[in-house]
Amino acid sequence: MHKNVHTTKYKCAECDKCFQRSRELAIHTRSHSGEKPFECTVCGKQYSTAAYLTRHSRIHSGGEKQYICHVCSKAFSHAQTLSSHVKLHTGDKLYKCDVCDKVFSRSKYVKSHMRVHTGQKLCKCSLCNKSFRYSSNLETHKRYVHSNRRSYLCSYCGKLCKKNVDLEQHIRVHTGAKPHSCRHCSEHFTWNCQLKAHLMKSHNEGTWLTCHICQKTFIHSGNLKIHLHRHEGVKPHVCSECPKGFCAAAELKDHQLTHLNYK
């Protein structure tokens, strides 16, 4: 007589996916929370599992890369990584979206892409409850909004930035670089937003955004959003030191300096 074996399934509260072991559920849950408890001691990069950290560590240890691409001779530590890389050369995209017919090289990319159509935001920030479609967006949000870690140093003034792109933009203050050029005239600009404003004002290129309440026009959607907050009395940016709220994040940042007696 065979003994019935009942497999216990652990269900994810966010997406209803089931797992046979609690450990597997715990690892999967990190895809929603964005938690990455395993940190590289060399470069500080973080991972959701010890296995991913071990794989990453080979970059620093110079681990042997035995899987070689027959097209470009690039080497990889894992056969699966090589397999994904080869598709860049062959152009194989076997998985198609049922909604827009867009094709992808891996099935997981289709599942991820589908959130564009469904609007699902399964990755929730444990600090402010804001939701995101992808764990990568959540990771960026937590690092940029909630973390004070600043790893990128300006060689001109010593200022520390959270992201490399922030540092690159900051350096323009010192160098005076204006990488954004107008295709209609000889004007150059430090920031892309300045170029966009120039194109709309001087060359009538682009679409103005109009407030449906007072008909005031804006170039950037962010400015229109803040403007609407003022009409509606919405103040989403609340000071952590006092109950005062603000329509714009920049206003809150200026206000917080009053608590530090900063001039």
Higher pLDDT, 170 or 33: 170
Average pLDDT, the chain: 81
Residue 32: how many other CB atoms lie within 10 Å: 21
**Mean pLDDT computed over 142-171:** 82
Torsion over CA of 146, 161, 163 and 40, rounded to 10 degrees?
-80
| pLDDT tens column, 214-227 | 999 998 888 999 99
**Residue 26, token pair as written in the block:** 């715990």
The CA-atom distances, in angstroms, between 252 and each of 244, 248, 249 are: 9, 7, 5
Contact 67, 77 (CB under 8 A): yes
Higher pLDDT, 263 or 185: 185
Query: How many angstroms separate the CA atoms of 110 and 96, rounded?
Result: 7
| pLDDT tens column, 9-67 | 788 877 778 888 888 888 888 777 777 888 877 777 788 888 878 777 766 665 556 67
CATH class for the region spanning 7-63: alpha beta
| pLDDT tens column, 93-140 | 667 888 887 777 677 778 878 877 887 787 888 877 788 877 777 877
CATH topology for 208-263 is Double Stranded RNA Binding Domain (3.30.160)
Matching fold, domains 7-63 and 208-263:
yes
pLDDT, position 5: 46
pLDDT, position 3: 44
Domain boundaries, the chain: 7-63, 208-263
pLDDT, position 2: 46
Among 4-13, 182-191, 252-261, the range scoring the smallest mean pLDDT is: 4-13
pLDDT, position 145: 74
